[in-house]
């Protein structure tokens, strides 16, 4: 991946022209980078970096532009078939498929849930992220006010999250239900779990509820018990799976911070019905 920091040579230079000049890439490649979210801009050099897709945009000399060129990323097909289970004017609850990112990287955002939501005409703000390999329910805000309020709920652990997973390995290490209380990255981390169903081939269908929000918490906690999630590409041994990782966000419950009513949603992954 090649990265570039670009400054306009003249007031009013069009963004696409500046990108072609600075990167030496062909115009069709630059157009694709713009369309796929690989270009970000800080207006007048202030505020946050924002993805920009319109190559006709005229630059101000103080505008700052950055881009990342990765042909492998650009070769991925865009994800534009997102499905919501609930929406109001403030936020929506969407289904993120496995293999789709919650949001993009510097090299593009076209294989992300936020890109697909933006394609529906909304301006999405991420407040809840699922690992790329994890599928299921995720919350996306539509206004800065809603994003701040929902983010606070997540930060204060006032959102009840439930996951289903298929695990394998040393299953004798698991009781029918229990609490995994093991620090991660030097911070307290707790995950409640219970066995939902015993499956063939030394596997279990599990329900897990993280009480804290550490990186890859459920995956790492089950791996520490030597019962890793089936198909996890990062953690565990003897748990590889051609059909991908079997972990899904299946339940969300929280008090709507704006309308002050309790909300509840559920989701069942296809692989759970097959086992």
d(CA 9, CA 24) in angstroms, rounded, equals 15
For the CA atoms of 163, 165, 169, 170, what is the dihedral angle to 10 degrees?
40
pLDDT tens-digit profile, the chain (275 residues) = 899 998 877 788 999 999 999 999 999 999 999 999 999 999 988 888 999 999 999 999 899 999 999 999 999 999 999 999 999 999 999 999 999 999 999 999 999 999 999 999 999 999 989 999 999 999 999 999 999 999 999 999 999 999 999 999 999 989 999 999 999 999 999 999 999 999 999 999 999 999 999 999 999 999 999 999 999 999 999 999 999 999 999 999 999 999 999 999 999 999 988 77
Chain CA centroid to CA 14, Å:
32
Could you tell me the CA-to-CA distances from 241 to 39, 99, 133, 180, 233 in Å, in that order? 35, 14, 12, 25, 9
Catalytic-role residue among 106, 109, 131, 223: 131
Is 131 catalytic? The answer is yes
Q: Is the dihedral of CA 151, 153, 157, 161 positive or negative?
A: negative
Take residue 157 and report the two structure tokens written for it.
Answer: 């652990």
pTM of the entire structure?
A: 0.91
* Torsion angles phi and psi, residue 168, rounded to 5: -145, 175
Q: Where are the beta strands (DSSP E) in 39-159?
A: 39-42, 50-51, 64-69, 83-87, 91-96, 125-126, 135-141
Q: Give the DSSP H or E segment for 205.
A: strand 203-210
């Amino acid at each position: 991946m090649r990265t570039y920091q670009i400054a306009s040579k003249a007031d009013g230079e069009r963004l696409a022209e500046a990108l072609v000049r600075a990167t030496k890439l062909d115009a069709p490649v630059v157009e694709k980078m713009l369309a796929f979210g690989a270009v970000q801009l800080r207006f007048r050099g202030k505020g946050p970096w924002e993805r920009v897709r319109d190559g006709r945009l005229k630059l101000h000399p103080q505008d700052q532009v950055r881009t990342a060129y990765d042909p492998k990323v650009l070769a991925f097909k865009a994800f534009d078939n997102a499905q919501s289970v609930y929406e109001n004017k403030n936020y929506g609850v969407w289904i993120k498929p496995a293999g789709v990112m919650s949001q993009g990287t510097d090299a593009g955002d076209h294989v992300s849930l936020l890109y697909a939501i933006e394609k529906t005409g909304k301006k999405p703000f991420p407040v809840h992220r699922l690992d790329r390999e994890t599928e299921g329910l995720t919350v996306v805000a539509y206004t800065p006010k809603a994003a701040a309020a929902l983010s606070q709920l997540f930060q204060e652990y006032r959102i009840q999250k439930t996951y289903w997973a298929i695990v394998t390995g040393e299953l004798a290490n698991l009781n029918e239900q229990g609490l995994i209380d093991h620090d991660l990255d030097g911070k307290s981390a707790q995950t409640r779990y219970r066995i939902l169903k015993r499956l063939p081939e030394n596997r279990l269908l599990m329900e897990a509820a993280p009480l804290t929000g550490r990186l890859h918490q459920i995956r790492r906690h089950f791996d520490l018990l030597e019962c890793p999630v089936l198909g996890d590409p990062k953690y565990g041994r003897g748990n590889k799976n051609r059909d991908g990782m079997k972990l899904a966000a299946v339940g969300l419950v929280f008090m709507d911070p704006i309308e002050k009513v309790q909300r509840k949603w559920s989701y069942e992954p296809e692989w759970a019905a097959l086992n």
